[in-house]
């Protein structure tokens, strides 16, 4: 698993076309799901490997994970994920792996599995129900098989929306992955057709959006001596607010729930909210030439190397901030400090 995971990371970094090895991994996904469902300790590495497989840069249409899994193992995957997402004792690392896998499924053209994650329904069943909504046959009683299927449904999106009520208990480094997954789901036409009672969900998001963070030093100006870790927390909070605003905008576009949409409109139209926007969205301390100058200085010192060689794989550092979030600084220190007295960019 670790060998496959590392190889997949390199593929993501280089944006390479997946090979026969990746196709073989797709054929083995039922085995991976079987291990995940039976061994909790393997859940994080398996979810991260599945995420990387989905994120591959395929020449044409990516392989369908739903097709490779089949109905039995898809049900097994949904059952295991719904259990883990509902378990408050699951570690933060596992939660992030779950949220990222869900998000990648929404984003990377895995339509069949996306429908299963959002609705809990089989894609054929979902299409049939959609066709029957405006016909008289919707009055027909469900068969025993349909009732059985109803019992076995797992809407992961519904569980994610329930998890919103817990964001005050989790660090923003975890919450950001949660709201990103929900935002990507709300950007799907499948979600637009799934009406639900979202009043508690929307109220929590609106309250969180109004709780806008301030700079750690409580001043409107950028301070070079600001505590790095507090500033990183501030970045997480800002991105969390932006993702919540994105979810609310999608909700206004697709939802027919007037009580929920009216709650959002009331906030957006309020004089207090509008007047506060200027101060909240002021940009300061931004150095637009920072990365360009960094690359120039690096290339001057190491002509045979490229700074991009030390970048973190984007799919594995998504929604993360920190001194080691963009480049592998510890590795660079190990390589260059021993041979350069003035190693510092």
With cut-offs at 50, 70 and 90, classify the pLDDT of residue 109: confident
Lowest mean pLDDT among 69-73, 84-88, 91-95, 217-221: 217-221
- 261 contacts: CB under 8 Å, gap ≥ 6: 251, 252, 255
Can you tell me the mean pLDDT for 41-53? 90
Q: Higher model confidence: residue 94 or residue 319?
A: 94
User: Has residue 240 got a pLDDT over 80?
Assistant: yes
Q: How far is Cα 202 from Cα 164, in angstroms, rounded to an integer?
A: 9
Check residue 17 and give its pLDDT: 64
Nearest CA to 98 out of 174, 203, 155, 210 is that of 174
Q: Higher model confidence: residue 90 or residue 289?
A: 90
- Two tokens, residue 161: 């929306």
Give the DSSP letter of residue 121.
S
Can you tell me the mean pLDDT for 262-287? 80
- 226 contacts: CB under 8 Å, gap ≥ 6: 215, 216, 217
Check residue 248 and give its pLDDT: 92
Give yes or no for a contact between 11 and 29, defined as CB atoms under 8 angstroms apart: no
Lowest mean pLDDT among 7-21, 42-56, 168-182, 220-234: 7-21
With residue 79 as reference, give the H or E element that holds it. Answer: helix 65-86
Lowest mean pLDDT among 112-116, 227-231, 319-323, 335-339: 319-323
In whole numbers, what is the pLDDT of the chain averaged over residues? 78
Lowest mean pLDDT among 9-18, 64-73, 283-292: 9-18
Nearest CA to 235 out of 249, 252, 215, 220 is that of 215
Question: pLDDT per residue over 121-151, tens digit each?
Answer: 776 665 665 555 555 444 444 454 444 344 3
This prediction's pTM: 0.78
Q: How far is Cα 104 from Cα 184, in angstroms, rounded to an integer?
A: 9
Check residue 134 and give its pLDDT: 54
Check residue 225 and give its pLDDT: 53
Q: Higher model confidence: residue 184 or residue 123?
A: 184
With cut-offs at 50, 70 and 90, classify the pLDDT of residue 343: low
Q: How far is Cα 12 from Cα 6, in angstroms, rounded to an integer?
A: 10
Give yes or no for a contact between 175 and 240, defined as CB atoms under 8 angstroms apart: yes
Nearest CA to 198 out of 147, 258, 286 is that of 258
CA-to-CA separations, 244 to 82, 83, 206, 241, 285, in angstroms, rounded: 22, 25, 8, 5, 24
User: Has residue 95 got a pLDDT over 90?
Assistant: yes
Check residue 217 and give its pLDDT: 61
Q: How far is Cα 78 from Cα 73, in angstroms, rounded to an integer?
A: 9
Q: How far is Cα 210 from Cα 191, in angstroms, rounded to an integer?
A: 25
User: Has residue 161 got a pLDDT over 90?
Assistant: yes
Give yes or no for a contact between 213 and 241, defined as CB atoms under 8 angstroms apart: yes
What DSSP assignment string belongs to 10-72?
HHHHHTPPP-HHHHHHHHTHHHHHHHHHH-GGGHHHHHHHHHHHHT---SSSPPPHHHHHHHH
Give yes or no for a contact between 244 and 205, defined as CB atoms under 8 angstroms apart: yes
Check residue 85 and give its pLDDT: 94
Nearest CA to 73 out of 43, 104, 125, 32 is that of 32
Can you tell me the mean pLDDT for 53-69? 84
Can you tell me the mean pLDDT for 81-102? 94
């Amino acid at each position: 698993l670790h060998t496959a995971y590392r190889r997949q990371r390199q593929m993501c970094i280089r944006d390479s076309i997946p090979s026969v090895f990746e196709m073989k991994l797709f054929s083995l996904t039922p085995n991976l799901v079987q291990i995940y469902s039976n061994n909790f300790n393997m859940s994080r590495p398996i979810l991260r490997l599945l995420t990387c497989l989905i994120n591959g840069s395929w020449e044409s249409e990516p392989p369908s994970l739903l097709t490779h899994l089949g109905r039995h193992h898809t049900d097994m995957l949904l059952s295991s994920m719904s259990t883990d997402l509902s378990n408050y004792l699951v570690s933060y690392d596992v939660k992030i792996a779950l949220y990222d896998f869900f998000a990648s499924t929404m984003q990377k053209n895995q339509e069949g599995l996306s429908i299963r994650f959002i609705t809990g329904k089989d894609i054929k069943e979902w299409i049939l129900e959609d066709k029957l909504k405006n016909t008289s046959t919707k009055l027909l009683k469900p068969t025993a098989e349909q009732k059985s299927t109803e019992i076995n449904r797992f809407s992961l999106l519904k569980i994610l929306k329930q998890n919103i009520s817990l964001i005050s208990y989790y660090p923003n480094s975890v919450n950001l992955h949660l709201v990103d997954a929900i935002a990507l789901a709300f950007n799907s036409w499948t979600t637009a057709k799934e009406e639900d009672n979202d009043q508690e969900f929307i109220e929590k998001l609106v309250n969180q959006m109004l709780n806008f963070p301030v700079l750690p030093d409580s001043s409107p100006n950028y301070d070079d001596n600001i505590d790095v870790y507090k500033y990183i927390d501030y970045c997480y909070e800002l991105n969390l607010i932006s993702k919540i605003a994105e979810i609310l905008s999608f909700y206004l576009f697709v939802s027919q729930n007037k009580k929920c949409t009216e709650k959002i409109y009331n906030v957006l139209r309020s004089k207090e909210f509008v007047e506060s926007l200027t101060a909240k969205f002021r940009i300061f301390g931004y150095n637009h030439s920072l990365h360009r100058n960094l690359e120039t200085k690096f290339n001057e010192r190491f002509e045979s190397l490229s700074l991009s060689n030390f970048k973190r794989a984007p799919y594995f550092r998504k929604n993360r901030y920190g001194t080691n979030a963009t480049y592998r600084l510890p590795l660079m220190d190990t390589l260059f400090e021993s041979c350069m007295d003035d190693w510092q960019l």
